[in-house]
Every structure is written in C-alpha cells, then in structure tokens.
Amino acid sequence: MTPSILAANLGLSFAALAALCLSLNRHHAEVFDRKAERAAVLRLRAFGWAAIAASLVVAGIGEGWAFGPVQWFGALTGAALGLVLLLSYRPRYVAPAALVALGLAAVPLSLAVFTVSP
Amino acid sequence: MKGSFRQSMAWLHTWSGLIVGWVLFAIFVTGTASYYRPDITRWMRPELTRAAPLDAPALGAAAERAVTYLKEHAPKARGWFIGLPQPDKPVLDLFWRTRPGEPPGHAMLDPRTGTEAAMRDTRGGDFLYRFHFELHMPPLWGRWVVGICAMIMLVALISGIVTHKRIFADFFTFRRDKAPRRSWLDAHNVTGVLALPFHLMITYTGIITLALMYMPWGVTTAYKGDNQAFFAEAGWVTTPRAPANRPAALAPVGPLVERALATVPETLERLSVVNPGDANATVIAVFEEPHGLSHQHPQIAFDGVSGEMLEVLGDGLKPAAKTFTVMTGLHEAHFAGTALRLLFFLCGLMGCAMVATGIVLWSLARLPKANERAFFGLRLVQALNIGSIAGLPAAVAVFFLANRLLPVDLAGRAEWEIDAFFGAWIVAALVPLVRPQRRAWCEGLAAVSLLCLAVVAADILTIPGHPLRLMGGDPLFAWFDAAMLLLAGLFALAARKVLRYEAPRKEGKRERDMAQGPRPEPMAPSPTRAPVRHREPTHA
C-alpha cells in the first residue's frame, strides 16, 4: 500500500504546486507567454491549495496520522524540487507534466477507493 | 549591526552562516549518507552475504557462543554487548567495556562456530555516522562542537527566513542563466525554502537528541546527577542494578533469548550483559523498535544469575518521554521505507546544497573589482569552500576506495581507511590555496568525479561476487555503484560548467572591455564575473 499512497502524494503535490506556480505572473508568462487572467489565477490557487489539502488527507488516511504528515511534507518537497528544475530547464513541459502527475495520482486513489468500497 | 530589523537579521544570517558553514556542510553530508548507514556498512564488508533469519533455538545457541568467547577474552569487563545475527548482518558483533578511559574491545564472530569471522576490518558506515555528530573528535568535545554548530544553524535558518523578502513570490524561482550572484542566491533560496520543513525539523531534533548533554541541570538537580536513574524513570532503559561485588556464575543465555523472543514480537537486536560474573548481573534483551515514529527499543531485563524476568519495557512512555523519542525517531528516520528514505535523502542533499551555496554566496558578494586585489579573508574563504565542497566528497570517495584497495589482512586496517579519508581531505583543502580559484574549483570537482568512477571500478574488479560479474549477485553492490556513477556524473557536470562558464554578456560587457588591459589579480575567477561590489544587505 505504501508505494501507491506515496505515488498519489507525489502526483497531487506536483499538480498542486504547478497550479500555484502558474498562478504567479512571472511563471505564467514563462510557460504560456502571456499574463494570467484574474479568474484563472483564482482557479489555479483554489485548485492548488485544495490539492495540497487533499494530499494531506490521503497521506493521513493511507499511512495513519503519525506517518501521514511526514510523508506529506516529504512528497511536497520532492515534487517542488522536480517542478523547479523542470521550470528552469523545460518550462513548456510544466503544464503537461502537471496533468500527467494528476492522472498518475488518480490511478492509485481510484484503486484504493475501489478496493475499500465493496 | 544597524538599520532595520531585516538588515540586522541579514547581518546575523550572513555571519552566523559563514562561521559554521564548513562544519555544517560536513555534518550535512555525513548525516545524509547516514540514512544509508547499514547499506554502506554492508558494502564495505563484502565478505558478508545475506542469510536467512535464525529461529529462536539457533539464535540462543549463537548467543551462548558469544558468551563463551567473552568469558575467555573479556572476563573482567563491566559490560558485554552482543549484537545478534540479522539477515543483513549475519555475524555476532561483540563489544565490551572494561573501565572508563580504557578503549572498548570489539570482535566479530561467526554465529555458527563462535570463532572470529573472516572479513576485512572496517568501521564501515559507522565512521560517517559518528563523524556526523562527533567529527572524529573525543566524543564529548565533538558533540559540543556539533551542538553549537547546530544551534547556530537554527539561528541562521530563522534569520534567513526573516531576511528572505519574497518567500512566496520567489518560491519557485531559479534563474540559472543570470549573473552568478543571482543564480546562486536563487539556488540557495530554492534549496532552503522548498525543504524548509526538513531543515527546521532536522536541526531542531538534532539538538534535541543531545539536549540532555547540553542542558544537564534539570537532571543534575532532580536526580543528583544520576542520569541512569532519570533514564529509568522516563522508561527509556531498564532499572540499573549496582554490582553486589560477589562472584556468581552467569545463567545460560540461550533459554533467556528464547523466552525474550516469546514475550515480545519484534526482532531481537542485541543482548547487554551488565556486570557479568557478579551476583547482581543483568541480561537485557533489546529489540528492534516497532514500526512507528518513536525511536524506542522494547527491552526485557533478566536477572543474570537466576534467569528471573525482572522488567519488560514496551511502549508505555509518558508524554514528555514519548515526545523525546519521537523527535529522535524523526531525526534518524529508521521508520522510513525505501521510497520515503529516498525523500529524506533528497532533503538531506538539499540541505548540503543550501549550505554550500550559502558559503559560496558570501565570497561571490565580496569579489574584488577589476583593479583590486582579493583581500586575505576572501582568499581564505574561497579556498576553504573548495576544500569542503569538493574536498569532503573526495575524501569520502577515497574512504570507499581504501576499503577496496588496502590489503585485506593489513594490521589496523580500519584506522588506515580513516587515515586515507583525512589524508585525502587535507590534500584537497591545501591544493586550492596555491591554485587560481576557478582552476581549483574545476580540478576539485573533476577529481571527485574521477574518484567516484574509481570506486566503481575498484568494486567491480575486487569483488568476485559482484552482480556485474556474477549474474544474480547481491543487488546492493549494483545499487551502490549506480549511486556512485550518478555522483560522478553530477560532479563532472559541475566541473564542466565551471570550465565553460561565461558571464552573461550584457552585464559583464563594460567591465570586460576594461579588463582587456593589464590582467588583474589571478585569484578572481574571471574579471567579467565581478560585478561592482555594492552591498545588498539582504543578500549574503
């Protein structure tokens, strides 16, 4: 169970941080060559913080509330490092990578929900 | 110290960071490596192969063999410590203390025969682990130095947070192609801020693990300085028993081992025999900690003569004692599985990078103008930077290399390995003093890369059971070598970057034109890299 929860944490963290990063004008311009609209900024921020919170809940439920927060912080740091490097070397890949990360996080999560619910 | 609060904090950050920076870098590097201490130790003892776990009677018989050996070789000892064979470390690891001030004894036995195990003498990963908090000094001195450095690190962290003006706006900003000071500052901020929870946690819990040594007054007052009584009351150790000073035969330990295993469901890690041969001898069975954040080993104390079970310590700690064990547990991260351990390791590397970029920034912010000489302090800092940032990794690589290349039966082999480590470090720290700064960086980084490659080559050539030579050998060797190759690649990239580096054109152009004339001080990495030396108090 542990590796799939960690994968979900990493995926959620990456997508969340990428959204928060794209809500900042400088990075938005680096990636999309234009300024962010106000509505888009708000949407990105709302999604980013929600996904960070979701990641904590996933870690807490999946790993227990002792290990969960540790893993949550670790995943956030690891994902942030990857994001910063990607942003610096290949800014164009940030948005697609965030979508892929979200998709990767969804797989173990849906599996977990599927196995728990019946 | 003048001006606004933030300027004062910037001053504090700069100077607190500089004075402990080199030691902190060493602490961070060896501490980060210590996340893989058992793996490094296993790599450095290639004679040991993994074995199936022993069942209770076999473990008891092995413990009996250890006691037989100790009765013969250490009859006068105050305490025997018997590390029991584990799948990853299938030997009896014996250790005994005779009296304070005398060096402890140490032996490794084959658990099946009770004779000394045939393998190379090495400190393994334990050397790096102990260096992390003792710096290879006498333990008390080393722990004090490390503790003071850690406290100053905490000061540097907090003042750094205050100093950082745009912590959220620059959260993701790493402008690697801007002027060197800008890029280095970004790298310093990114490695510091992104792993900030880790940095704060590791620094604080690091101080806490040794807090009783730094602040002994509470225990001194309440327990009249009797630390053991305090530890026992906290529930961390079993109640100490004074020797009766009457001889009595030690009960057979085999049955004690079997009873201990039947009582606690964890893996039995070691036995401590306190006051062997005395009527008040105690045998303490120490188990691996159960899966959890808390760093607390379950323990069972037996009367060493009658074999009666005296005390069972489980997880019944009071909140304060539990808080302490959770903090040490978080620091050591024994609980972390492969993936989480990798994240801890990555955070550790970011800590190394934060310290390294910090001390480099200090010198970048003080580069002389094109027509100035570098002042002595700057040259010293520059040389020390190279000596630690390239020198320490080179020394670690030489330590590994010595483990593979020294003759296996060399007397005092473990000490030779350590001498090689310090010898390499001293050379790496002295050479930059007489080389131009940029060349020295390039050579130092390239040397680390080559040494890492040499470690891989030596490993493959000297280990007959290496997975590359023998299909399906112990994968540990392949993983270790892969990590070494990765490090070699990273250091080679860094060396190449230093070699090829040119300052961005628009910033350095005017100064470059000016510098075409008489060439100034060769210590300056390149005249074009030296921006006008204006003090930005918030940045380094």
pLDDT of residue B503: 65
Length of chain A counted residue by residue? 118
Angle between the N-to-C axes of helices B37-44 and B475-500, in degrees from 0 to 180, rounded to the nearest 10: 100
Beta bridge partners of B271: B82, B285
Q: Is the ipTM of this complex over 0.90?
A: yes
Q: Which member of B169, B197, B293 has the closest CB to residue A67?
A: B293
Residues in chain B within 8 Å Cβ distance of A85? 174
Whole-angstrom distance, CA of residue B236 vs CA of residue B510: 67
CB B356, CB B25: distance < 8 Å: yes
- Helical segments of chain A, H only: 2-22, 25-32, 38-89, 94-116
Residues in chain B within 8 Å Cβ distance of A78? 343, 346
Dihedral sign of CA atoms B61, B66, B67, B73 in order: positive
pLDDT of residue B32: 97
Nearest CA in chain A to B341: A74
For the stretch A30-35, contacts whose Cβ atoms lie closer than 8 Å and that sit 24 or more positions apart, written own/partner, are: A30/A87, A30/A91, A31/A87, A31/A91, A31/A92, A31/A94, A31/A95, A32/A95
Nearest CA in chain A to B191: A81
At residue A115, does pLDDT exceed 80?
A: no
Q: How far apart are the first and last CA of chain B?
A: 14
For each successive 10 residues of chain B (540 residues), what is the average pLDDT?
Answer: 82 93 96 95 89 89 94 91 91 89 86 88 93 92 95 95 89 86 92 96 95 89 88 89 92 94 92 93 93 89 93 87 92 90 95 96 87 85 94 97 93 94 95 90 96 96 84 86 96 92 56 42 39 40
Q: Which member of A3, A75, A84 has the closest CB to residue B174?
A: A84
Q: Which member of B171, B340, B347 has the closest CB to residue A71?
A: B340
Nearest CA in chain A to B337: A2
Residue type, B197: P
Whole-angstrom distance, CA of residue B383 vs CA of residue B425: 13
Cβ of B205: how many Cβ atoms within 10 Å? 19
CB B81, CB B70: distance < 8 Å: no
How does pLDDT run across A42-81, given as a tens digit for each residue? Answer: 999 999 999 999 999 999 998 889 899 999 999 999 999 9
> In chain A, which among 57-76 make CB contacts under 8 A with chain B?
66-67, 70-71, 73-76
Whole-angstrom distance, CA of residue B371 vs CA of residue B255: 80
pLDDT of residue B540: 38
pLDDT of residue A49: 97
Cβ of A106: how many Cβ atoms within 10 Å? 14
pLDDT of residue B493: 95
Looking up tokens 């490390």, which residue turns up? Answer: B146
Residues in chain B within 8 Å Cβ distance of A74? 198, 340, 343-344, 347
Helix (H) or strand (E) holding B311: strand B309-313
Q: Which residues of A68-88 are buried (b: 16+ CB within 10 A; e: fewer)?
A: bbbbbbbbbbbbbbbbbebbb
Is B174 in contact with A87 (Cβ distance < 8 A)?
Answer: yes
Is B194 in contact with A77 (Cβ distance < 8 A)?
Answer: yes
**A84 at B interface, C-beta within 8 A:** yes
Residues in chain B within 8 Å Cβ distance of A75? 343
Q: How far is A116 from chain B (nearest CA, A)?
A: 23
Give the strand pairing for B92-97 and B105-109: antiparallel
